[in-house]
């Protein structure tokens, strides 16, 4: 009797391929998946009254907001207890996951708890804001084209949406496409979100604090097409 053939050891499943092609606006399988796919409400339940970038990078955010004249009615998306404006806009609305963090935001006039990954709709009327910001958080959005399209809807024509980020994150909650690339790649990813939403001018990309001894600070922004 021949010996039975031993069962083959199953090969481990390969990681999903991530399409990093910079030109086509399409993102490949696995790009928007995360190591922690449990609800964001659970992860963000404990208030984190900390800063996620250092003082130099925070100053760079504030200087950029001042330069871009983000005044009037402003929406700070994925916000917490700090919004980094050097001078408060006339009316600041903050949207984020943690009520206590938003309550502690001294510049906010309106606070909204809303999970953009559970529901990418931005819960405001058309043309409600003069500007929108998203600081060190764009890497957590799992449906960014839907969110960027929604942000364009709630902005007035010609209004800027300004995304800033550094080189750190909560890695289990950042999308795999973000973790798979470097600072230049992150700038290109955010620029692709603006282009894919097809409601914005060609985005501007800037390294805001080159040569500084602080955390690096990158910005990508564009204005809505009227
Ligand atoms: C790294 S913190 C940045 C907070 C603030 N923007 C800042 O500059 O310090 C990430 C923020 O994104 C928000 N956030 C994460 N996932 C979110 C989601 N699914 N929907 C809405 N906000 C979210 C959290 O509430 C958290 O405050």
Could you tell me if residue 24 is inside a domain?
Answer: no
Task: Give, for 148, the enclosing helix (H) or strand (E).
Answer: helix 144-154
Q: What does each of the 226 residues of the chain score in pLDDT, given as a tens digit?
A: 344 444 444 454 444 444 443 333 578 889 999 999 999 999 999 999 889 999 999 999 999 999 999 999 999 999 999 999 999 999 999 999 999 999 999 999 999 999 999 999 999 999 999 999 999 999 999 999 999 999 999 999 999 999 999 999 999 999 999 999 999 999 999 999 999 999 999 999 999 999 899 999 999 999 999 7
Question: What range defines the domain where residue 106 resides?
Answer: 40-223
Q: Is 152 part of a structural domain of the chain?
A: yes
pLDDT in tens, 75-115: 999 999 999 999 999 999 999 999 999 999 999 999 999 99
Residue 99 covered by a domain: yes
**Structure tokens of 207?**
């390294």
β strands within 71-156, DSSP E:
73-77, 91-96, 110-113, 131-135
Residue 53 CA, closest ligand 1 atom number: 9
Please give the Cα distance from 35 to 210 (Å, whole number).
31
Instruction: Decide if 32 is inside a domain.
Output: no
pTM of the predicted protein model:
0.90
- Integer Cα distance of 63 and 57 in angstroms: 10
Q: Domain total for the chain?
A: 1
Residues 110, 118: Cα–Cα separation, whole Å: 21
**What is the Å distance from ligand 1's center to 169 Cα?**
11
CATH at residue 158: 3.40.50.150
Q: CA dihedral defined by 175, 179, 184, 187, rounded to 10 degrees?
A: 10
In a domain, residue 63? The reply is yes
Distance of CA 9 from the midpoint of ligand 1 (Å): 43
Return the structure tokens found at 173: 């909650």
**Residue 191 in 3-state DSSP?**
helix
| Residue 54 covered by a domain | yes
DSSP characters for 52-89? Answer: SS-HHHHHHHHHHHHHTT--SEEEEES--S----SS--
Ligand 1 center to residue 137 CA distance, Å? 5
Domain membership flag for residue 25: no
In a domain, 27, yes or no: no
Residues with CB under 6 Å of ligand 1 are 40, 44, 52, 78-80, 82, 96-98, 101, 115-117, 135-137, 140
Measured from the Cα of 61, ligand 1's closest atom is 8
């Amino acid at each position: 009797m021949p010996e039975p053939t031993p069962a083959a050891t199953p090969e481990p499943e390969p990681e999903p391929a991530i399409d990093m092609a910079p030109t086509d606006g399409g993102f490949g399988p696995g790009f928007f998946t995360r190591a922690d796919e449990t609800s964001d409400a659970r992860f963000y339940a404990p208030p984190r009254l900390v800063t996620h970038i250092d003082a130099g990078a925070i100053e760079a955010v504030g200087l950029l907001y001042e330069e871009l004249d983000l005044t009037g009615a402003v929406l700070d998306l994925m916000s917490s207890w700090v919004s980094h404006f050097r001078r408060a806009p006339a009316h600041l609305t903050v949207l984020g996951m943690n009520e206590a963090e938003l309550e502690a935001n001294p510049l906010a006039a309106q606070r909204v708890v809303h999970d953009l990954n559970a529901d990418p709709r931005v819960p405001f009327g058309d043309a409600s804001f003069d500007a929108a910001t998203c600081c060190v958080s764009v890497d957590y959005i799992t449906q960014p084209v839907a969110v960027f399209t929604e942000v364009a809807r709630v902005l007035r024509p010609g209004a800027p949406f300004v995304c800033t980020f550094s080189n750190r994150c909560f890695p289990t909650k950042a999308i795999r496409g973000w973790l798979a690339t470097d600072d230049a790649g992150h700038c290109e990813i955010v620029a692709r979100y603006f282009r894919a939403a097809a409601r914005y001018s060609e985005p501007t990309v800037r390294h805001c604090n080159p040569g500084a001894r602080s955390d690096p600070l990158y910005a990508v922004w564009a204005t809505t097409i009227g």
